[in-house]
């Protein structure tokens, strides 16, 4: 790591991320792939994990030295929560603020598509079949959104705008949420499931949430309910979901994330009844890579100036606590995130001497 020279920013990426040419002069920028990561990390001050699907970091994280700050171009940080990084002094930040609204729009589109049977209409059109059907009324239906972070909150906001009566579930219960009033605790989920027409998984992957959607969970859902996962693949016991679809207990499901990605051609998901498969794209809209770069550049400016970083991950919890920006999220450059909050790590220009659940 640089002690007296210019700060060293290592970018882990298969290609060239946009807009990094705007990094101020006097900063050394090094682009590496996984093959060069082990050599680059010991002298890095900052690591930008642009290739956020990498599994290389736990294998090559240096025993001494290494980055003081790690930023990931993703909302989830589960791949970064390996012991060496969690126990280190390095700050971790994510790209909160880019994905919330697109994912909420995607989930809302899935709800409308399943309620109105758009897939069935398309299939009938292709077969030139005129078949009148009745469809479900969305307004007045009930949803449970699991994950009370910014993504879950954005989903709840849009579903509520459609007239869906939505219960938001987080790690802990609270009755004075500034936007929704009540947030249910994880322990209350089983009691909410039997009345839900829609169950949406938007939780981070932690020790508490892994495999949370299993046979017991699906069994608590009412006959014909639909399930959507835009969180992480390992939140779901996939064999149990497939069994619930094949038995007809669930009326349908949509998965945007899977345990194995890309989904293999021989995966049983492709032919599961009532299952809509999408390739981890719910957050990806035109211009999203530029937006990701802007979040990093904004934080790099803060880091260089010794100001508090946005989107600082609580490494003990495995996510950015929602209280940092509740009820909404702030855009890069917003002065609202300049004020250091209780429990928020403040970056230093010197190396410090010596920091899982749902929101």
CA–CA separation, 210 and 203 (whole Å)? 10
Q: Which residues face 72 on adjacent strands? A: 49
Backbone angles phi and psi of 98, in degrees to 5: -95, -35
| 261 has catalytic annotation | yes
CA–CA separation, 179 and 227 (whole Å)? 25
Give the pairing of strands 174-177 and 181-185.
Answer: antiparallel
User: Is the N-terminal amide bond of 327 cis, ω within 30° of 0?
Assistant: yes
Determine which one of 249, 280, 307, 351 is catalytic: 280
| 232 has catalytic annotation | yes
Fill in the DSSP letter of residue 163: T
Instruction: Give CA angle at 238 (236, 242), nearest 5°.
Output: 125
Asked if 332 and 298 count as a contact pair (C-beta separation under 8 A), the reply is yes
Asked if 73 and 48 count as a contact pair (C-beta separation under 8 A), the reply is yes
CA–CA separation, 177 and 119 (whole Å)? 37
CA–CA separation, 314 and 341 (whole Å)? 13
Identify the three-state secondary structure at position 309: coil
Determine which one of 68, 232, 269, 310 is catalytic: 232
Catalytic residue numbers read 232, 261, 280
């Amino acid at each position: 790591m640089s002690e007296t020279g210019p700060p060293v920013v290592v970018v882990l990426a298969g290609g060239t991320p946009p807009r990094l040419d705007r990094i101020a002069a006097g900063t050394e920028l090094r682009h590496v792939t996984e093959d060069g990561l082990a050599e680059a990390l010991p002298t890095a001050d900052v690591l930008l994990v642009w290739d956020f699907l990498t599994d290389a970091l736990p294998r090559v994280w240096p025993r001494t030295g290494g980055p003081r700050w790690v930023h990931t171009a993703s909302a989830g940080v589960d791949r970064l929560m390996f012991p060496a990084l969690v126990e280190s002094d390095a700050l971790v930040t994510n790209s909160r603020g880019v994905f919330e609204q697109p994912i909420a729009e995607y989930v809302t589109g899935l709800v409308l598509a399943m309620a109105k049977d758009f897939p069935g209409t398309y299939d009938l059109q292709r077969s030139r079949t005129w078949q009148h059907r009745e469809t479900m009324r969305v307004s007045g239906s009930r949803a449970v959104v699991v994950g009370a972070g910014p993504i879950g909150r954005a989903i709840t906001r849009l579903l509520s705008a459609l007239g869906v009566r939505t219960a938001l579930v987080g790690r802990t219960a609270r009755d004075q949420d500034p936007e929704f009033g009540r947030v249910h605790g994880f322990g209350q989920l089983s009691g909410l499931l039997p009345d839900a027409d829609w169950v949406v998984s938007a939780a981070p992957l932690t020790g508490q949430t892994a495999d949370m959607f299993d046979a017991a969970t699906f069994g608590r859902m009412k006959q014909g309910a639909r399930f959507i996962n835009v969180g992480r693949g390992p939140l779901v016991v996939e064999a149990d979901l497939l069994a619930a679809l094949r038995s007809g207990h669930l009326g349908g499901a949509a998965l945007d994330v899977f345990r194995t990605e890309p989904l293999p051609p021989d995966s049983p998901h492709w032919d599961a009844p009532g299952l809509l498969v999408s390739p981890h794209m719910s957050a990806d809209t035109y211009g999203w890579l530029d937006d990701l770069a802007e979040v990093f550049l904004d934080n790099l400016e803060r880091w260089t100036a010794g100001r508090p970083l946005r989107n600082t991950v609580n490494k003990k919890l495995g996510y950015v606590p929602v209280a940092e920006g509740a009820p909404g999220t702030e855009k890069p450059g917003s002065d609202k995130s300049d004020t250091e909050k209780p429990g928020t790590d403040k970056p230093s220009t010197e190396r410090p001497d010596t920091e899982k659940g749902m929101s």
